[in-house]
Structure 1
Amino acid sequence: MEIYKLLNGIDFLVMGIYLIVLIGIGSWVSYRQKHNENLFLAQHSLGATSIGLTMWGTNVGPSMLIASCSIGYTTGIVAANFSWYAFVFLFLLAFVFAPYYLQAKTSTLPEFIGTRFNQHSRELLAWYSLVTILVSWLGMTLYAGGILVTQIMNWPLWVSITALVAISAFFTLTGGLKTVAHTNVFQMSLLIIASLTLVVFGVIKAGGVTAIYEGVPEGYWKLFLPADNPDYPFYAILLGYPVLGIWFWCTDQSMVQSVLAAKSLKHGRLGTATCGYLKILDMFIFFLPGVICLILFPNLGNPDEAYMTLVSELLPHGLIGLIMTVLMAALISTIASALNALGTVFTLDVYQKRFRPEASTKETIYIGRIVTVVGSFISIFLGLGIAKLQGLDLFSLFQAILGFLAPPLSAVFLVGVLWKRATSTGANAVLTFGTVASLGIGLCYLMHWPSEEAWPHFLFLSFLIFAGLCLFMIIVSLLTQTEGEVSPLPSLADTYRASGKVSAGVWTAWGILIVLMIGLYIFFN
C-alpha cells in the first residue's frame, strides 16, 4: 500500500509539528540535566507514570499495531493473551524481582546475575543481552519501521531506517534514559488518543458494539481456543507464554531498565501496575481494529493491510497524519529505549567491569555514547539484512524467536532467585549449553526441519525447553555444589523485611488490576 499517496499537506503538517515538539521536549530535558549526570538510570528519578509508560512504550512498535490488527482480522482476540496475560509477570517483577534488583542497587541485569553467581555468569549474560537487543529490539523493529516510513514518505528503505535510527539516537545520546522516559510520556499519550479515535470511527461505521459482536465468526471473542486449534491452542498459551513472560517482563534489560531507575521500590511497583493497566488497552486499540476491519472490509487480499485500510477509509486528513505520527512515535520509543539499554549493558558490564573498573562517570558517559553510535550503525545493517528474508510473517517470527531466546534466561533467573542452592556452574551450563540447544531447536523449527508436522506449537515447545533447562540446572547444581556454597542474596522474606511495609496504595493499585484482569478473562471465555 502506497500510503504517501493518501497524505496531503495537512497530514505532513501534523507530522512536522509532532517532530518539532518531540525534539523540543528531548532538548529541554537534556538541557536541564546536570553536567556529567549518569545517562543510564536517570539518577533513579523516575516516578510510577514514567515507568509505566516507558515499559508500555518499549513494548509497542509498528509491528505491534499493524500485525496485531492483522491477527485480529484473521483469528479474533486470542492473540490479546500476549498483552493481558502479562499482568501475572508484571506482578512477579513488582513483588519478587524488583525488591532484589533495587536493594542490590542493580544497574544492569547481568550485574545482578554476577552478584548471584559469578563474574563469568555476568559476562555470558552481558554478551547474550547485547546480541538480543541488536537482533530482536533493533534489527527487527527497524525493518518493520523502515517499511512503514518507506510507505509514508516514498523513501528508499535504507534512508527510512537511517532516519529512524538518527532521531532515536538523538534522545539516547543527549539525555539517556531520562530523556527517553519524558518523551515516552508525550508519545504514548498521543498513541492512546489517536488509536482510540480510530476505534471510535470504526465502531460507528460498523453500526455499533452489538453489530461488531454479532458480525464475526464463532470463537472470535474467545481468549482460550480448543486444543486442536492450529493457531493458538489454549495449552500452548497457558504453558508457553510464562516462559516468554518471565524473560521479557522480569529479566530483559530493555524492559526492566525503567524499574531499575525508579525513585523507590514503591514507585517501581506502582509503575509496573501502571503498565499492567495500559496493557488492558492493547486489546481495544490493537486487536479490536482488526475485528472491525473484518466486518467493514471482509475481502481484503492481505490481512496485513487491515490497519492501514481502516486509516485510509475512515479518517479525514489531519487524523490520517496523526495516525502516521503515532506509528512513528511507537517506533522511536522502542528504538530509543533499546539503544539506551545497549549502551548501559556494554558500558557497565563489559567495559567498566573488565577493562576500566576505575572509569569515572564522565568516561562511562563517553563510552556509552560511542556504543550508541556504533550500535546504531550495526542495527541499520541488521534491519537491511532482515529485509532480505522473504515469506516470513513478522509478528509470528518475532514471537517464535522470543520463544527460543527466552528459556535459558528464564531458567537461570527463576531458579537462581527462588533456589538458594543453585550454583554458578549450573547457571553457566544453562547459559552456554542450554543456549546452544534452545537456539538450535529454534533454528530447526523455523526451517521446518525435518518437517513442519514434526514440531509442536512453538509456545509449547518453548515450555518444554524451559522445563528441561530448569531440571538440567538443578541436576548440575546438585552435582557441583561445594560445602557452604549458597546464594549470597538474602531470602525473599529477608528482602521484604529490609524493603519495608508495602503501602496501602500499592496493594490497592495491584488489587484492582488483578480483579479487573480476572473479570476480563471470565467475560471473554
Structure 2
Amino acid sequence: MEIHEILQPLDFAVLGLYLVTLIGIGYWVSFKKKRDADENLFLAGNSLGWPSIGFTMWGTNVGPSMLIASASIGYTTGVVAGNFAWYAFIFIFLLAVVFAPRYLGARVQTLPEFMGKRFGSSTQNILAWYTIVTVLISWLSLTLFAGGILIRQILDLPLWLSVVILILIAAFFTIAGGLKAIAYTNVFQMVLLIVVSLALTLTGLYKVGGVGELIANTPGEYWNLLLPADDPNYPWVAIALGYPVMGVWFWCTDQSMVQSVLGAKNLKEGQLGANFTGWLKILDVALFIIPGIICYVLFPDLDNPDEAYMTMVTKLFPVGMTGLVMAVLIAALVSTIDSALNALSTVFTMDIYVKKYKPEATQKQIVTIGRVVTVLGAVIAIFLTLAIDSIKGLNLFDVFQSILGFIAPPMSVVFLFGVLWKKTTTKAANTVLLFGTILSLGIGVLYLWVFPNAEYAFWPHFLLLSFYIFVFLAALIVVISYVERNRKDLHVSTLDYGTIPKLPNKVKWLWIALIVVMVGMYVVFNGN
C-alpha cells in the first residue's frame, strides 16, 4: 500500500491545524516585532552563548531534507553514511581553533567581508556571486527536491507539481507573516523533530526485538563505518580523501553554518559552541540513520528507499501523530526555503545591485529589486530541482552529497590558502573562485547528467572526484601566486587578527574528550 493511501482525514486535519496555528503566531510575532523594533534590533549582535551556537549549527545542518535522505541511505547501506556526521568533528575542530580566532579577531560580519579584507573588493564581489550560486543549489534546490519528494509521497502528485505547491506554501507563509512564525518556533520544531525521530527509533527497536535482533537481521557490513577500498558505494579511501574537501567548505567557510560563531559573545563561547555541535553530531546516526536500518528489517521490500522515513512514520505511529510529523517536516522545509530565498535576495540586492550598480538606490527600489530576485530565484530553483530529479543511479543521500562535493573545492582551496599561506595573491584566489567553480560544476554536470555515473563506468567515486579537483586547484593557486610573487602592485591584506589567544583549558579538555570519544566510536563500528 502506498504512503498516501495510509493517511487518514485526521492526519490532514492535524496538518492543517498546525500550519494555521503557525500563521496565527506569525501575526502575533509581526505585531510584537513592530512594537519592540527599536529595543531589540541590534541586541543579538555578538551575544550568543555556547548552547545557542551549538544548537543553531546543528539545527541548520540536520533539517528535514537531511533526515529523509539519511533514512534512505541507512536503508540501503547501513551506518557508513554516519561518516558524514562523525567525521565532521575534525573540521568543526578546525573551525574552532584555526578559523574562528581569525574571523572574530578580524571583527567581520560576513565571510565575503573577511575575504574582501584579505584579497580586496574584487574577491568580495566574486564571493557574492558564489554565494548566490551555492544558495540556489545547496540550500534552495536540494531542499525543494527533498520537500517535493515528501509532498509526492503524501499526495501522490508528480514532482513538478509538488515543488510548485511547496513554493506556493512558502510564499503564502511569507505574505501571511508565516516566515516570522517559523523563525520564532524553529527551536520548538527542531526539538519536536528530534523527539519524533527518537520515538521512531525506540518504537522500531521494540518492533524488531531490540538491538541484538536488529544486528542479527542485517548484513554485517551495515555496521561498519569504513568499508573496503573496492566497495562500490562508499569505499573508505573516497570518504577519507573526499569528505575533508566538503568538510572544510561546509563547516569552516559556509556563511549559514559559521554565522552563529561570528555572533558569539567571545572567542571562548564560539569555541565551546563548536565543540557542543561536535557532541550533538554523535546523535545523527541514532536519530536519522538507524530508523532507515530498522525500516530495512521491518519493511525489506520497499520499491524506493527514499520512502523509508515516511514508511516508518505511517506504519508505526498512530493516526493523528502521522499528520503532526508531516506538518513539522513541511513547516521546517518551508522555513529553509524562505530563509534561502531571503538570503538570495539580500546578497544580490545589497552586495551586487546596490554596492556595484546603484549605490544611490532608494528604499523603494531596493524592495522592488528584492521582490523580483525572490520570484526569479524561486523559478530558477524549480527548474534546478527538476534537473536534480533527472539524475540517474543515485539515491537521495548520494544526490545531496555528490552535488555538495562539486560545489566545495574552490571555496575550500581559497579559504585554506587565504588563511594559512600569506603568499597567496588576489589573482590566484580570484582565478580559483572563477575558473575553479566553472571547472568543478562543469565536471559535476558531466558526472550527473551528460555521462551519468550509472551508465558510464569510467568515473571514479564522486568523493574522489571532489578530492582530485581540490588538489588541482590547490596546485593552481600555488603556481599563480609564485608567478606573481615579484609584482609591485599586489594587493596588501588589511586583515588584522590581533594576537591569536591560546586555547583555554576548558575548551582544550572538552575537545580532547570529544576526539577520544569519536576515535572510540570508529573502533567500535569497525569490528565486524
Above 0.5 in TM-score? yes
The TM-score bracket by the shorter chain reads 0.7 to 0.9
Q: How does 1:223-234 map to 2 (within 5 A)?
A: 223-234=225-236
Q: Distance in 2 between matches of 1:503 and 1:422?
A: 30
Partner in structure 2 of residue 488 of structure 1? 494
Corresponding position of 1:354? 356
**2:231 counterpart SS class:** coil
Aligned equivalent of 2:440: 438
For 1:415-434, list aligned pairs within 5 A: 415-434=417-436
SS in 2 for 1:453: coil
* Residue 380 (structure 2) pairs with residue 402 (structure 1): no
Give the alignment of 1:9-24 within 5 angstroms: 9-24=9-24
Question: Deviations 1:165-195 (Å, cap 9, x if unpaired)?
Answer: 3554677789999876543211110100001
Match of 1:375 in 2: 377
Mean Cα deviation higher: 174-183 or 390-399: 174-183
Q: Which secondary structure does the structure 1 equivalent of 2:205 belong to? A: helix
Q: 2:98 aligns with which of 96, 99, 120?
A: 96
Residue 223 (structure 2) aligns with: 221
* Correspondent of 1:238 among 237, 240, 263: 240
User: Aligned residues: percent identity?
Assistant: 58
8 Å CA contact 1:78, 1:222 repeated in 2: yes
Q: RMSD in angstroms over aligned alpha carbons?
A: 3.3
Q: Distance in 2 between matches of 1:85 and 1:139?
A: 25
1:184-333 residue pairs with structure 2 within 5 A? 184-333=186-335
Matched, 1:458 2:462: yes
Letter aligned with residue 310 of structure 1 = M
1:356: how far off?
Answer: 4.8
Aligned-partner Cα distance in 2 for 1:361–1:261: 27
Q: 1:32 to 1:357 in 2, by over 3 A?
A: farther
Q: 1:85 to 1:495 in 2, by over 3 A?
A: farther
State how far apart, in whole Å, the 1-side matches of 2:320 and 2:37 are: 40
Q: Taking structure 1 as reference, are residues 107 and 171 closer, same or farther at Cα in structure 2, changes over 3 Å only?
A: farther
Report the 3-state secondary structure (helix = DSSP H, G, I; strand = E; otherwise coil) of the residue aligned with 2:292.
Answer: helix
Q: Which amino acid aligns with 2:316?
A: L
How far apart in 1 are the matches of 2:125 and 2:43? 20
Code of the aligned partner of 1:466: F
After superposition, give the CA deviation of every residue in 1:202-259 in whole Å (9 maximum; x if it has no partner).
Answer: 0000001111122211211111111111111111111110000111111122322333
Correspondence for 1:5: 5
Larger mean CA deviation between 505-514 and 64-73 belongs to 505-514
Give distance in 1, aligned partners of 2:118 and 2:157: 48
Letter aligned with residue 96 of structure 1: V
Instruction: Give the aligned residue type for 1:277.
Output: W
Per the TM alignment, residue 325 of structure 1 is displaced from its structure 2 partner at its CA by 2.7
Which deviates more from structure 2 when the two are superposed, residues 256-265 or residues 274-283?
A: 256-265
The 1:366–1:444 alpha-carbon spacing in structure 2 relative to 1, beyond 3 Å, is closer
Letter in 1 for 2:398: S
CA contact (8 A) 1:102 1:265 kept: yes
How many residue pairs were aligned? 520
Task: Give, in whole Å, the separation in 1 of the partners of 2:471 and 2:495.
Answer: 24
Aligned-partner SS, 1:220? helix
Deviations 1:428-471 (A, max 9, x none): 11112222222233233333379733222111121121112111
- How far apart are residue 118 of structure 1 and its match? 1.7
Q: Aligned-pair distance for 1:381?
A: 4.3
Which is further off, 137-146 or 93-102?
Answer: 93-102
Shift of 1:369: 5.8
What are the ranges of 5 or more consecutive residues in structure 1 without an aligned counterpart?
A: none
Give yes or no for the alignment of 1:470 onto 2:474.
yes
CA distance in 2, matches of 1:396, 1:408: 21
Paired with 1:150 and 1:12, the residues of 2 have a C-alpha distance of: 15
Deviation of the 1:286 alpha carbon: 1.4
1:51 CA drift (Å): 3.4
**Structure 1 residues 178 and 102: CA distance shift in structure 2, 3 A:** farther
Cα pair distance change 1:30/1:144, threshold 3 Å? same
Alignment of 1:60-139 (within 5 A): 60-139=62-141
Letter in structure 2 aligned against 1:448: F
Structure 2: state its 5+ residue gaps. none
Structure 1 stretch 36-45 or stretch 248-257: which is displaced more? Answer: 36-45
Distance 1:368 1:36 in 2: 24
Q: For 1:35-54, what aligned pairs fall within 5 Å after superposition?
A: 35=37, 43-54=45-56
Checking the alignment, whether the CA contact within 8 Å between 1:10 and 1:321 is kept in structure 2 is: yes
